[in-house]
Structure 1
Amino acid sequence: MRRKGANSIDSDNPNDPDATITLAAVGDIMFHDTQLKSGYDEASSSYNFKPVFENVRPILEAADLAVANFETTTGGGTDDYAYMGYPRFNSPDETIDA
């Protein structure tokens, strides 16, 4: 296997001893109260967390396989279970899109 470019592997010869893949791993992706507030846009009544990851996005996208520990839930924002940080993490669905 030879790398043809980012996120692409030539599998014509799976026994090639020079084959490589690129891995990326990150941990503890969680959203505390201050992070939840920073992602909220009052004008549109919506959340956007993409700017939070803009500096690491190129690194993660360049990997053949990226793995992250998403340490929160996305249980919906209700009166019974509002969006919150520690100790009962519950984040908007937009955290997944980021």
Structure 2
Amino acid sequence: MTSSVSCLTITAFTLERYVAICHPLRAQTMSSLHRAVKTIVVIWVVSCAAALPYPIHTRIYYYVQHPVTLQPVQDSLICNIEVGAADVITS
């Protein structure tokens, strides 16, 4: 999520600089604290929405089984999207 916020913030700065350089009179009328707060809120909401699928599909499971007993190896407990989950989603 923070990566998305970073990229979108840089994009917002770039667009603001473009407007300020190419349309200086419009930039003066568009600049306000209210607009800046709206932009920040939109950036965070979009970033949260973009990051949401990962925690929804993430599970805690044992990644490795003992080859003889087929019991899960205790040290292989991970938190990730299950390997077979992609096949279920695309089917």
Task: Give the TM bin, normalised by the shorter chain.
Answer: under 0.3
With normalisation by structure 1, the TM-score equals 0.21
With normalisation by structure 2, the TM-score equals 0.22
Is the strand fraction higher in 1 or 2?
1
- The one of the two structures with greater contact order (alpha-carbon pairs below 8 A, sep at least 6) is 1
Is the helix fraction higher in 1 or 2?
2
